[in-house]
Amino acid sequence: MARATLPSVVDTQPFNKKKVAVASRQWMLLDLKGESIVLEIDKYSIMHRVGIHARDLRILDPLLSYPSTILGRERAIVLNLEHIKAVITAEEVFLRDPTNENVIPIVEELCRRLPMKRDIHNNNEPNGIESLKLRIPSKSRLSQDIEEEPPFEFRALEVVLEGICSYLDARTTELESAAYPALDELTSKISSRNLDRVRKLKSRMTRLTARVQKVRDELGQLLDDDDDMADLFLTRKLAGSSSPVAGSLPAHWAVGSPTIGSRISRASRASLGTYTADNDVEQLEMLLEAYFMQIDGTLNKLIAVKYDLFACFSR
């Protein structure tokens, strides 16, 4: 895995004229091709790169405790979902704490699923003049690829939601596996040891329920507001922008950047063929609805465990 260190921004104090170095943070950058690089960058550089405010960046601080949040900004989606702290743009994903054991599977899945299918197909084709014709897709083939491929930010969002919902469901299954045997033992023999074991499981269940409920509520709020969902469609907003973003970026940000002259990549432009202003909300709604149903099912399982635990103590 590549590692790059970018120069930190220096803040000049107007009164004492002392220069204070801003601490760099570790981020993992994943691009349109699914390639990753670890960067050491300060908060001002990342804010300038993705176009978010300091308050948005604070939400992603692993040392601070913020509830699960999905925010749509002009050029980015800010995600704080359990252990996933990420910023998604129309062409890049920035992940905090990439060495976390729970984040590593998300990174691997992003690397696998971020590239568009036809790009993977082209990379696997032989080189040479004979293969040139194969690399030029027909009009019908291109239309088919466009219809099958959601824009970059939706592919990244789906990977994160899938990972978080699966993670919380796995924690719920673990709790179920421990709770029911403990309840059976307490029913057969009431003792301080068995009571303490069930009380601890009850505390775990309460904390886990609150976490699952927050993710469910966040998805539900997005589904209830078409404008909020439209804010997550970064590719369309980028295409409608009159001024290119890339021109305002520092030269050192060219590392890992898939485009220089324009922020609208080939993949993003192709995606616009299907995901237009008329149906982008509908497409995103289908995506969010699927994971809302999954997390809602997880919450229902926790409620069932909660009922059994409280019923045990009420006897």
pLDDT mean by block of 10 residues, the chain; 315 residues? 49 46 80 93 91 92 89 94 95 93 95 78 48 41 54 95 97 94 88 90 94 96 92 84 43 36 39 49 90 97 86 62
DSSP letter at 134?
A: T
Q: At 239, which helix (H) or strand (E)? A: helix 234-239
What are 171's two structure tokens?
Answer: 């924690």
116-129 core/surface letters (b: 16 or more CB in 10 A; e: else): bebbeeeeeeeeee
Nearest-angstrom CA–CA distance, 112 and 12: 42
CATH match of 2-115+150-313 with 1.20.58.340 = yes
- Rg of the chain (C-alpha set): 23
Q: What is the reported pTM?
A: 0.74
Predicted pLDDT of residue 149: 77
